[in-house]
Structure 1
Amino acid sequence: MKMIKNDSKWVLSLYLQEGSYQYKFIVDGKWCYDILKPTQKDPLGNINNVLLVSNEPNPKPQSKSQPQNPPKSQSKSTKKPIEEPLSGRSLEFDIIHNNPPKDSIVFFGDSDIAYWDVQHYFPECSPLSCGVPGATTNHILRYTPFFLTKYQPKVVVLIGGENDLGHGVTPKKVAHNFEKILSLFQAHHVPLIYVSTKLEPNTRHLQQQYEETNSLISALCSSSESGALFVDCYADFLIAGVKPNRHYFESDGIHLSPKGYQLFTLKVREALKSLSFL
Structure 2
Amino acid sequence: MKKIVFLFVLALLSSVGVIGYSIATGMQKAASDDPRVWEDDIAALESSWADAPTGGIVFVGSSSIRLWHTLEADMAPLPVIQQGFGGARVNDVAHYLERLVLAYEPASVVIFIGTNDINVSDNPASAVPIISSTVENIVDRILLQDANTQIYYIAITPTIMSWDKWTEVQAANAAVRAMCQIGSRCEFIATADLFLDAAGEPNKKLYQFDGLHLSTEGYELWTRRIKPLLEMR
Relative to the length of structure 2, the TM-score reads 0.80
Shift of 1:131: 0.4
Name which of 206, 223, 230 aligns with 1:265. 223
For 2:32, the equivalent position in structure 1 comes to none
Helix, strand or coil for the counterpart of 1:256? Answer: coil
Name which of 194, 200, 217 aligns with 1:242. 200
For 2:109, the equivalent position in structure 1 comes to 156
**Aligned pairs (5 A) from 1:221-240:** 221-223=180-182, 225-240=183-198
Aligned residue-pair number:
206
Q: Distance in 2 between matches of 1:149 and 1:218?
A: 23
Q: Distance in 1 between matches of 2:168 and 2:92?
A: 20
Quick check: 1:171–1:212 contact (8 Å CA) kept in 2? Answer: yes
For 1:82, the equivalent position in structure 2 comes to none
Q: Distance in 2 between matches of 1:165 and 1:215?
A: 14
Amino acid across the alignment from 2:56: S
For 1:207, the equivalent position in structure 2 comes to 166
Q: Which runs of 5+ in 1 are unaligned?
A: 1-8, 10-23, 40-48, 51-85
Helix, strand or coil for the counterpart of 1:242? Answer: coil
Q: Distance in 2 between matches of 1:241 and 1:177?
A: 33
Amino acid across the alignment from 2:102: T
More helix by share: 2
Q: Distance in 2 between matches of 1:183 and 1:226?
A: 12
More strand by share: 1
Matching of residue 184 in structure 1 with residue 141 in structure 2: yes
Task: After the TM superposition, list the runs of 4 or more consecutive aligned residues in structure 1 that deviate by more than 4 angstroms.
Answer: none
Q: Distance in 2 between matches of 1:33 and 1:247?
A: 22
Amino acid across the alignment from 2:60: F
For 2:97, the equivalent position in structure 1 comes to 144
Identity of aligned residues (%): 22
After superposition, the C-alpha distances for 1:105-139 in whole angstroms (9 at most, x for unaligned) are: 11111111101121120121231101000000010
Q: Distance in 1 between matches of 2:102 and 2:176?
A: 24
Matching of residue 38 in structure 1 with residue 26 in structure 2: yes
Q: Which runs of 5+ in 2 are unaligned?
A: 1-6, 8-12, 30-34
Q: Distance in 2 between matches of 1:96 and 1:228?
A: 25
Relative to the length of structure 1, the TM-score reads 0.68
Shift of 1:34: 7.9
For 2:4, the equivalent position in structure 1 comes to none
Matching of residue 134 in structure 1 with residue 134 in structure 2: no
Shift of 1:167: 1.1
After superposition, the C-alpha distances for 1:206-260 in whole angstroms (9 at most, x for unaligned) are: 010110011000001012x351111001221001261000111011101110000
Q: Distance in 2 between matches of 1:97 and 1:200?
A: 30
- RMSD (Å) for aligned C-alpha atoms: 2.5
For 1:108, the equivalent position in structure 2 comes to 60
Shifted more, 91-100 versus 30-39: the winner is 30-39
Greater Rg by CA? 1
Matching of residue 256 in structure 1 with residue 214 in structure 2: yes
Quick check: 1:193–1:271 contact (8 Å CA) kept in 2? Answer: no
